[in-house]
């Protein structure tokens, strides 16, 4: 029997390459996108297009019901990949901007996951994979809101993993560093005249979105999936630096990574 996997944020980047790869590997791919034209494109590509605006509670409810109907309550995997970033000094962020950052990157993930657990728990197996970020490990100037949402996603994933112990459902985090996607182009900058830009080193070590595929396959198919999967040299390096450097020294390293023009 083919396994059903739901992937959010499939219009481009990591979500799109994940959908292509898992479809080729024999999964029944439920490809969720926000825009109707992208949903139709997913159908044309041979996936099951799902309309989903992760920032809208009603849309999440409709999408979850659609997913459960399509898979007959036998969902094997959920890849929570959709998200976006709000960049700018914390003093320039409104409460509403901060709330929307968390609504998309955490609250929607929580709602979708809990609505779909009834389609996973009775089956005694399953995988939940969440796209975090290197910004879920460290924070830098100008990225405080985005980093806060990813730090929260990491904590949420840890709690969920422990709560699901013994159910057969495993929870993993993918932690990409710099990846060539449209994410940066879609960032909401609070200061248009002083946008937060990636440092040159990020571009030097950036990888294509396909770099996440070996980690995603392992998370979905290994009998012993890892808790966390850093992707790119930057992510691996910062994982080590956070562990070994005193906080004051780590601050010195990171202060230069909040570049504004």
Residue 106 in contact with residue 156, Cβ under 8 Å? Answer: yes
Residue of 47, 87, 146, 229 marked active site: 146
Whole-angstrom Cα distance, residue 139 to residue 31? 31
Helix (H, G, I), strand (E, B) or coil at 77: strand
Residue 47 burial (CB count, 10 A)? 24
Longest dimension (CA), the chain: 54
**Alpha-helix runs per DSSP H in the chain:** 13-24, 36-44, 57-71, 95-102, 108-116, 144-163, 200-205, 213-221, 233-244, 247-255
- Asked about 47 being catalytic, the answer comes back as no
**81-117 burial, b for 16+ CB within 10 Å, e for fewer?**
bbbbbbbbbeeebeeeebebbbbbbbbbbebbbebbb
Task: List residues with catalytic annotation.
Answer: 146
């Amino acid at each position: 029997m083919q396994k059903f996997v739901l992937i959010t944020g499939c219009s481009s980047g990591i979500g799109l390459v994940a959908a292509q790869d898992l479809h080729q590997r024999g999964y029944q791919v439920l490809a969720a996108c926000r825009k109707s034209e992208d949903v139709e494109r997913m159908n044309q590509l041979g996936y099951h297009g799902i309309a989903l605006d992760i920032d809208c509670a009603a849309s999440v409810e409709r999408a979850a019901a659609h997913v459960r109907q399509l898979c007959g309550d036998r969902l094997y995997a959920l890849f929570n990949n959709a998200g976006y970033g709000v960049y700018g000094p914390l003093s320039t962020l409104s409460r509403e901007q901060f709330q929307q950052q968390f609504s998309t990157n955490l609250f929607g993930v929580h709602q979708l996951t809990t609505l779909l657990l009834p389609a996973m728990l009775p089956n005694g197996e399953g995988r939940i994979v969440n796209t975090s970020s290197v910004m879920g490990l460290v924070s830098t100037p100008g990225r405080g809101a985005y980093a806060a949402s990813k730090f929260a996603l990491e904590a949420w994933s840890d709690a969920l993993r422990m709560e699901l112990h013994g159910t057969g459902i495993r929870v993993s985090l993918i932690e990409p560093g710099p990846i060539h996607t449209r994410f940066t182009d879609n960032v909401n900058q609070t200061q248009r005249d002083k946008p937060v830009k990636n440092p040159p080193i990020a571009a030097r070590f950036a990888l294509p979105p396909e770099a996440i595929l070996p980690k995603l396959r392992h998370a979905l198919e290994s009998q012993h999936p890892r808790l966390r999967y850093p992707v790119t040299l930057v992510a691996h390096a910062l994982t080590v630096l956070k562990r070994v450097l005193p906080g004051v020294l780590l601050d010195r390293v990171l202060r230069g990574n909040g570049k504004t023009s």
